[in-house]
Amino acid sequence: MKYSTKESDSFNEESLRTQKDTHFGFESVPENEKEKRVYEVFKNVASKYDLMNDAMSAGVHRLWKDHFIQRMAPYPGTKLIDVAGGTGDIAFRFLNHIQSQINEDSFQSKADEDFEFPESELTVDLGNKGVNSSEVKSDSDSSSSDSSGDVCDDVHRDVLLKGSHVTVCDINQEMLDVGKHKALQCGMVSGISWLQGNAEELPVDSNSYDVYTIAFGIRNCTHVDKVIEEAYRVLKPGGRFMCLEFSQVPNPILRSVYDSYSFQVIPVMGQVLARDWRSYQYLVESIRQFPDQETFASMIRQSGFSMVTYENLTFGVAAIHSGFKLS
């Protein structure tokens, strides 16, 4: 098959584009190789992922994630997709938040009923005999009072009734397996589903979710712009994009201290706790390669999101970015 000079040039340009290099930490690698290498990193660290997060951040990552959910402020009926969320940290917090809202609403409804209809004034006519309502129990009352089931089961029955659901999507099956195991341990089998998929090409329908979250995952993706575009696609009009990610510390003195800790301590922790120096060296380097807060906010706007904001956490060590799909 022959190509004209113009066609040949076009073909060569396309070939070069597909072979373009990108960063893997501080190393330059072909784009089609990065995804495989990132997969291997998280395959290697999956079983120790939560332990290492606690060790590296002295537990602060838990506070960041709690605050992330508070900023999201999901309501009963919310449909969430949590991308790169394999171990379930965001998903479980989401369901617990929904549970607390349902419990609070139920408590308030019960309080209102008790206020409007004082129990001492209610009687039920049973064979012309006045019986105080406190002496009458329905089947549902009995089953409720006798119930001693697992709290997680009760949580998710409520969640299902309100229609809330979270889809946890991750490209790495090993990370998903860790999340599934954690879910089974506490009985979280309803209101949550697990999906293996690439953040750059999600295997879900457009306009499907109220909220899209990605926590500490987007910096590991080869094409960050494609990830954000996919987030826009799968969100319903009015839906919200939220990203929790390591970011850049603006203060030069604090940045110097943070860099020293990151490069001198974290890889050593990786070797001691997970017997894996290289994976944690990559994770530290990947943070330094990620765009700063303003640049990333601009990328979110360019993908079509409106009302884009960000909030620094712990002096900019991490940041929450948010944007809305208005149409």
pLDDT tens column, 143-165: 333 333 333 444 444 445 478 99
User: Three-state secondary structure along the chain?
Assistant: CCCCHHHHHHHHHHHHHHCCEEEECCEEEEHHHHHHHHHHHHHHHHHHHHHHHHHHHCCHHHHHHHHHHHHHCCCCCCEEEEECCCCCHHHHHHHHHHHHHHHHHHHHHHHHHHHHCCHHHCEEEECCEEEEHHHCCCHHHHHHHHCCCCHHHHHHHHHHHHCCEEEEEECCHHHHHHHHHHHHHCCCCCCEEEEECECCECCCCCCCEEEEEEECCHHHCCCHHHHHHHHHHHEEEEEEEEEEEECCCCCHHHHHHHHHHHHHCHHHHHHHHHCCHHHHHHHHHHHHHCCCHHHHHHHHHHCCCEEEEEEEEHHHCEEEEEEECCC
* Cβ atoms of residues 66 and 93 within 8 Å: yes
pLDDT for position 213: 99
Unique residue bearing structure tokens 């001198």: 264
Lowest mean pLDDT, pick from 48-57, 129-138, 149-158: 129-138
Residue type, 214: I
Question: Span 311-323, mean pLDDT?
Answer: 98
In the chain, the amino acid numbered 299 is: M
Q: Residue 124 pLDDT more than 60?
A: no
For the chain, the domains span 23-58+249-289
The pLDDT, as a whole number, for residue 137 is 37
* Over residues 102-124, mean pLDDT: 56
Q: How many CA atoms lie within 13 A of 266 on its CB side?
A: 22
Residue in the block written with tokens 């900019």: 316
Q: Please tell me which residue, 149 or 22, carries the higher pLDDT value.
A: 22
Mean pLDDT score across all residues of the chain: 81
170 among annotated binding-site residues: yes
Give tens-digit pLDDT for 251-272: 999 999 999 999 999 999 889 8
Query: Does 319 carry a binding-site annotation?
Result: no
Looking at residue 27, its pLDDT comes to 66
Q: How many whole angstroms separate alpha carbon 265 and alpha carbon 284?
A: 10
Is position 96 annotated in a ligand binding site? no
Is 205 labelled as part of a ligand binding site?
A: no
Q: Over range 26-54, report the average pLDDT.
A: 78
Region 185-214 average pLDDT? 95
At 238-249, the pLDDT tens digits run 999 999 999 999
Distances (CA, A) of 26 to 20, 155, 266, 277, 286: 16, 44, 16, 15, 7
Token pair belonging to 316: 């900019």
Check: CB of residue 194 under 8 Å from CB of residue 182. Answer: no
pLDDT at position 114: 54
Helices 31-45, 266-274: crossing angle, 10 deg rounding: 60
pTM (2 d.p.):
0.78
- Residue 132's pLDDT is 38
pLDDT of residue 104: 77
Whole-number pLDDT of residue 109: 59
